[in-house]
Amino acid sequence: MFGKDFFRNGVHPPEAKDLTADVPIRRVPFPSQIVLPLRQHIGAPSVPLVKKGDRVERGDKIAKAGGFVSVAIHASASGTVRDIERRPHPDGSYSPAIVIDVEAHSAQMPRPRIIPRWEGLSVAELLQAIQDGGLVGMGGAAFPTHVKLSPPADQKIDMVLLNGCECEPYLTTDHRTMVEYPERVHVGTRIMMKVLGISKAVIGIERNKPDAIKIMRDSVPADLDIEILPLTVKYPQGAEKMLIKAVLDREVPEGGLPMNVGVVVMNVASVAAIAEIFETGMPLIERILTVTGSGIKKPRNLIVPIGMKLRDVLNACGGLTDDASKIVMGGPMMGPAQGNLDTPILKGTSGVVVLNEAEAHPQATYPCIKCGHCLDACPVFLDPQHLGSLGLHRNYMEMYDKNHLSTCMLCGCCSYVCPSHIPLSHLFGVAKATLRSEGVKV
């Protein structure tokens, strides 16, 4: 048995997962156009391999990795490259993207390919396959999978930790993945264990998903040493550092990575994606996506091609209700609000949450009353109240120098509890972005 199942602080937002928790995953018809931004992951943007007018087939590599911390991008539907141009990106910018006009009869079933058996491949070949497959973390951060799986030689890894917490409210992507594709998760775990040369894995799942816990337990193959660990329902249980603390009682040093304490953390959907490369031969061209919230007519769990536009996704779910007023990509605690329906779904987009007018209505802000609730909520023990007042005065350097701004992961707990509705995590995000633009590494 592992850990104390405990990390300090955090918050308990309403879960709101029942809208889609029991809705089976379904495919959707292809849209008429796909937009694939070259910047979908952390690290260097991908480099296009196609040009205007090229015909591409579903699964074709259309952009190669732009460096080691980068991955390939593949066409998610067959069609013609319309252009490589700036298109809306979920982060609010217009970013270079490969735009594909999809053929009317593009098949969802890929043409037969030669699928290598992973058991026969060397570690280097597996890593290459994973990078070529365009795999990134699908829980939101989109960190290239092969980089996570290539720790430096002096870092001893003794544990793979699978993240099945899905602590963001509303989302049921990982939940449904575990319920409907448990074998894929297990196969993906085997491949990761082989790459890392270890024999032990743990899957942490929040207790609000009893069906996923049961199915994952029942489906574990006898020869696989993997433990399914139910965890307390608390946000941000799924944050790497919190999860490692809760499961293994290890504390990732400030500024460090999970590998510094011998752990690789991977979201369950990303693990299932590893298995999929060797099961169907298909790279990462589609993903499971929860489309939910009170502002959508038919909340569903979908398999959508990467690059499908928000507009098409919403239409596949019956469209917006009349009082829909805010669209969030990802979970409501950390996901950015979207203003353009032509924004595409990326590899790391775990959900689309549509809030109605009453839920989205902005709250009046008041001066800080120094209640200290933010200190009690911060899972990394910062002083958000003090950081916030520095942020309001644009004293960014002092936030970074003396107040551990880099440790903040923008989880939003402080903003959630603030009775004066001061946008604390937003201030910290702005501070980080400003410092980065000035060349400070935060």
Partner 1 sequence: MSEPRLLLTASPHVLGPDSTPRIMWTVVATLVPIIATSVFFFGPSALLILLAAGGGAVLTERFVGRKGSLNDGSAAITGILLGLTLPPGMPLWMAFLGGFFGIAFGKLIFGGLGQNPFNPALLGRAFLQAAFPVAITTWPTTDGAWSALRGDNFALPLMSPHSVDGTTGATPLGLFKFENTNTGFGDLLFGNTSGSVGETFGLLILLCGMFLAWKNYLNWRIPASIFAAVVLFSGTLYLVDASTYPSPWFMLFSGGLMLGAIYMATDMVTSPTTNLGCWIFGAGIGILVVVIRVWGGLPEGVMYSILFMNAFVPFLNRSTRPRVFGQQPKVKKAKEAEAKS
Residues at the site binding partner 1, with contacts judged by CB under 8 A: 11, 13-14, 169, 241, 251-256, 311, 314-315, 319-320, 324-328, 332-339, 341, 353, 355, 359-360, 362-364, 366-373, 375-376, 379-383, 385-386, 404, 407, 412, 415-421, 423, 425-426, 429
Question: What are φ and ψ of residue 110, in 5° steps?
Answer: -75, 160
Residue 13 amino acid letter: P
Q: DSSP per residue over 352-402, as a string? A: EEEEEHHHHPPPPP-------HHHHH-TT---HHHHHHHHHTT-HHHHHHH
Query: Which of 299, 332 has the CB closer to partner 1?
Result: 332
**Looking at beta carbons only, is 59 or 169 nearer to partner 1?**
169
Q: Which residues contact 109 (CB under 8 A, 6 or more apart)?
A: none
Residue 126 and residue 60 in contact, taking contact as beta carbons nearer than 8 Å? no
Q: Cβ(34)–Cβ(255) under 8 Å?
A: no
CB of 256 to partner 1, least distance (A): 7
Helix (H, G, I), strand (E, B) or coil at 77: coil
In the complex, the smallest distance separating the C-beta of residue 49 from partner 1, rounded to whole angstroms, is 35
- Which residue's CB is nearer to partner 1, number 222 or number 363? 363
Closest separation in Å from C-beta 55 to partner 1: 30
Q: 197 vs 367, which CB is nearer to partner 1?
A: 367
Is residue 90 within 8 A of residue 346, CB to CB? The reply is yes
Residue 85 has a CB neighbour count (10 Å cut-off) of: 12
Minimum CB distance to partner 1 smaller for 272 or for 399: 399
Of the pair 220, 341, the CB lying nearest partner 1 is at 341
Integer Cα distance of 68 and 41 in angstroms: 12
Candidates 142, 86, 219, 170; CA nearest to 353 is 170
3-state secondary structure of 429: helix
Q: How far is the CB of 336 from partner 1 (least distance, A)?
A: 6
Which is closer to partner 1, CB of 189 or CB of 385? 385
Give CA–CA dist 84/385, Å, rounded.
44
Minimum distance, C-beta of residue 219 to partner 1, in the bound complex (Å) = 33
CB of 398 to partner 1, least distance (A): 13
Among 134, 224, 214, CA closest to 188: 224
- How many residues comprise the chain? 442
* Least spacing, CB of residue 169 vs partner 1, in Å: 6
Percentages (nearest 5) of helix, strand, coil residues in the chain: 30, 20, 50
Smallest separation, CB 84 to partner 1 (Å): 26
Which CB atom, from 202 or from 317, has the smaller least distance to partner 1?
317
Its sign, for the CA torsion 386, 389, 393, 399, is positive
Distance between CA atoms of residues 169 and 93, nearest Å: 26
Minimum distance from residue 283 beta carbon to partner 1 (Å): 30
If you ran DSSP here, which 8-state letter would residue 303 be given? E
Nearer to partner 1, 38 or 259 (CB): 259
